Amino acid sequence: MEETLTAAQRVALARQAQRPGICAFIDGLFTGFFEMKGDRLAGEDGAILGGVALYHGQPVTVIGTRKGRTVEENLHCRFGMPGPEGYRKALRLMKQAEKFGRPVITFIDTPGAYPGIAAEERGQGEAIACCLMEMSTLTVPVVSVVTGEGNSGGALALGVANRVLMLENAVYAILSPEGFASILWKDASRHEEACELMKLTAPDLMQLGVIDAIIQEPEGGAQRDAAAQIAMIDRALSAELHALRGMSGRELAAQRMEKFRRMGAPRPEADA
Amino acid sequence: MTHVFEKRRNRLRAMKELSESYLPPEQVITCPSCGQEVAREEVERALSVCPACGHHFPISGPARLRLVMDGAKYRELYRHVQAGNPLDFPGYDDKLRAAQEKTGLDEAVIVATGEIGGRRCVACVLDSRFMMGSMSAAVGEKLTLGIEYTVRRALPLIIFSASGGARMQEGILSLMQMAKTSAALAKLSQKGLLYISVLTDPTMGGVTASFASLGDVILAEPGALIGFAGPRVIEQTIGQSLPEGFQRAEFLMEHGFIDAIVPRSGLRDALAKLLMLHEGGTAWRKH
């Protein structure tokens, strides 16, 4: 582990354009991926990629945010910022996974949900809210991996999981440090200062009980050796799925709800 | 006879409460919406609504409860749950104390039980005077405790939202309250219980993207600003100014996200009617 990195340095690493994304993970971890598009209501959103695949021979539903690698792809995916269609597609695929009794694996790497006129017109808030509520009730195992930056409700909408894992240099936060600084101090240029205060690194979040495990990265970061990174994710993911195998659907939903129920419950001394 | 006096006293108190902290102190107020000069007293009598154009001024949490509850009476629950400073955020403790002193509240939400139209319910009210009604871990905890209380007693639930969104000073723990409250509402829904969400000005960010959008029935006050992303963030992202009426209650209803827009003067009756319509069992009702 690279203990010496500052939070701001990790934010920079998490945003590295060469960092492996959802497509690399699908290629490296699964076989027979079949992409499923559309929310069956209004549209298709490239910022979320999802479908069914085999993971060590077992069918699973895979869903993740997609940033794209080329400029064209970036624009098509709005740099990984989903709209309501994306979240409704994700929810559709999760309910489908529940119907067929297969685990859900999500990969999170997003600057946040897209802030736009059309997104608001079509109910960005409602779409995220429904993901949060429905995901909490799923009767199949759900494992989420935060692989890059996980910002705002737009990230959490794919993260209500039995187990939440995080790459060593990934960050997970209420919003981007720039947004945080601009809301709190009306000065986006103070983002480095915000990084340190926000407690957004994997070790910080582990301590706060927000995530369950940290997946190590290769020396220098995931972008240095994607194959090695994928092998590390594979080891963690298969162990987590294995551990959840003995639980019934009911137990899985109860464990997930209970886990989020405890988040930020006041400490006794604050209970005066 | 005493009953009549008590009623009148409660009404007077309710009117006083309605004005607390929101209306400018002057005797004549310039309405921010229509620009008309209106007598403060007249605005107060109209439940903090501009008599000229119908602009709804924000009201405090206690005022909201007095407005909707029978006899302006309610019993507060879980008052003792207070915010900590989980990230040791500099200056946050002072900010909290200042908000507590200003409002007389411990946190930005009040959880209460009372009757509306003779029917018992649980009502949670966010108070935007307290750090913009933002969602702290304590707000999420109180809401969740309120929802769980509702489930245990098989009561209907009403949440009045008024919030700028997440509480920045609590970072990721504020974010997690979205999942926590939504999961609690999933349990309420599984029990076949009624949840009415009332959106008031403003309802934004993580509040919109969690419990506020999950009502069986969603009502809004006229002109309330409701959305996920803030208007300024959207303008910066798309590089153009936003259309007139964008993210207002009327805009949301047009796009299919709100059942009805209810002026403040009709809110109590609308809630009483909805509680009546959802009461009682049919043979097919869950539980």
pLDDT of A272 above 70: no
Question: What total number of domains does chain B contain?
Answer: 1
A183–B190 C-beta distance less than 8 A: no
pLDDT tens column, B117-172: 999 999 999 999 999 999 999 999 999 999 999 999 999 999 999 999 999 999 99
Nearest residue in chain A measured CA to CA from B190: A137
Q: Is the ipTM of this complex over 0.90?
A: yes
Predicted confidence at residue B25, as pLDDT, reads 82
Asked, as a colleague might, if the bond just before B90 is cis with ω within 30 of 0, I would say no
Across residues A178-191, what is the average pLDDT?
A: 92
Predicted confidence at residue A159, as pLDDT, reads 98
Considering only the beta carbons, identify the residue of A136, A205, A271 that sits closest to B186: A136
Question: Which of A131, A156, A160, A262 has the most B C-beta neighbours within 10 Å, making it the best mutation to test the interface with B?
Answer: A156
Confidence of residue A42 (pLDDT cuts 50, 70, 90): very high
How far apart CA B257 and CA B241 sit, in angstroms, is 23
pLDDT tens column, A117-150: 999 999 999 999 999 999 999 999 999 999 999 9
What mean pLDDT is reported for chain B? Answer: 93
Question: What total number of domains does chain A contain?
Answer: 1
Q: Which amino acid is at A144?
A: S
Kindly report the nearest CA distance between residue B181 and chain A, in angstroms. Answer: 8
Sign of CA dihedral A257, A262, B122, A123: negative
What mean pLDDT is reported for chain A? Answer: 95
Residues of A within 8 A of B251 (CB-CB) are 121
Predicted confidence at residue A270, as pLDDT, reads 42
Q: Which of A133, A111, A45, A36 is nearest to A84 (CA)?
A: A45
| Domain assignment of residue A136, yes or no | yes
Which of helix, strand or coil describes residue A247? coil
Predicted confidence at residue A2, as pLDDT, reads 52
Kindly report the nearest CA distance between residue A28 and chain B, in angstroms. Answer: 30
| Domain assignment of residue A47, yes or no | yes
Predicted confidence at residue B16, as pLDDT, reads 56
Across residues A71-100, what is the average pLDDT?
A: 97
Q: What percent of chain A has pLDDT over 70?
A: 96
| Domain assignment of residue B69, yes or no | yes
Predicted confidence at residue A190, as pLDDT, reads 95
Confidence of residue B227 (pLDDT cuts 50, 70, 90): very high
Q: Which of A114, A223, A109 is nearest to A166 (CA)?
A: A109
Residues of B within 8 A of A199 (CB-CB) are 87, 171-172
Which has the higher per-residue pLDDT, B26 or A219?
A219
Residues spanned by the domain of B67: 58-277
pLDDT of B18 above 60: no
Residue B94 C-alpha from the chain's centroid: 25
Kindly report the nearest CA distance between residue B237 and chain A, in angstroms. Answer: 7
The CATH number for B210's domain is 3.90.226.10
Question: Which of B139, B170, B172 has the most A C-beta neighbours within 10 Å, making it the best mutation to test the interface with A?
Answer: B172
CB-based contacts of A69-72 (< 8 A; 24+ apart in sequence): A69/A17, A69/A21, A69/A23
Confidence of residue B22 (pLDDT cuts 50, 70, 90): confident
Predicted confidence at residue B1, as pLDDT, reads 53
Which has the higher per-residue pLDDT, B286 or B107?
B107
| Domain assignment of residue B177, yes or no | yes
| Domain assignment of residue A221, yes or no | yes
| Domain assignment of residue A191, yes or no | yes
Confidence of residue B5 (pLDDT cuts 50, 70, 90): confident
Confidence of residue A269 (pLDDT cuts 50, 70, 90): very low
A270–B84 C-beta distance less than 8 A: yes
pLDDT tens column, B233-283: 899 888 889 999 999 999 999 999 999 999 999 999 999 999 999 997 677
Kindly report the nearest CA distance between residue B36 and chain A, in angstroms. Answer: 31
Considering only the beta carbons, identify the residue of B89, B206, B257 that sits closest to A197: B89
| Domain assignment of residue A1, yes or no | no
Residues of B within 8 A of A272 (CB-CB) are 80, 82
Across residues B205-230, what is the average pLDDT?
A: 98
Nearest residue in chain B measured CA to CA from A201: B172
A129–B212 C-beta distance less than 8 A: yes
The CATH number for A235's domain is 3.90.226.10
Considering only the beta carbons, identify the residue of A128, A172, A270 that sits closest to B209: A128
pLDDT of A161 above 90: yes
Predicted confidence at residue B238, as pLDDT, reads 86
Q: How many CB atoms neighbour CB A219 within 10 A?
A: 9
pLDDT of A18 above 90: yes
Q: Would you list the DSSP string of A40-74?
A: SSS---TTEEEEEEEETTEEEEEEEE---SSHHHH
Residues spanned by the domain of A251: 7-260
Predicted confidence at residue B285, as pLDDT, reads 75
Query: Hey, is the C-beta of B246 within 8 angstroms of any chain A C-beta?
Result: yes
